[in-house]
Amino acid sequence: MQAVDLSGFTGTQCLYQHKLPMTPELLLTDGVKYFAEKCGAYWFMDIVATEFTPKLSDEDYVIFIQVTVSDDNSAVIIGSDGDKGDGPIILHTRTIEYTDLPPNSEFKFILTRSPNTLMLPSEW
């Protein structure tokens, strides 16, 4: 798979619902929906809905999520509180043995609560 350019997304025109049974509703911005479609990465939305959304609390109402893909197509998904002065606090980590996302790539997202919305940093 070739690189995916997400730099053109600023703000969003629409929010798209991503709902799995027995999980909170997750809304996707235009950029995130484009990423999911272009990369075949709706599996990532499933992981966010089931593993990261429950981590949102009153104190940490934003989770910064980074997907780092290695040259062997394995990936690590890390969710943190960003950097509140003492460095980021890791809230959740998920390792993926294989993904068809482009090797040696990195994607960043922001998950907010109320409503649970996944966006690109440029859409915040």
Which pLDDT tens digit goes with each residue over 98-121? Answer: 999 999 999 999 999 878 999 999
pLDDT tens for residues 50-81? 999 888 877 668 999 999 999 999 999 999 98
Distance CA 122, CA 106 (A): 15
* Domains annotated on the chain, with CATH: 24-123 (3.10.450)
- Model pTM? 0.92
CA-wise closest residue to 63 among 36, 30, 91, 33: 91
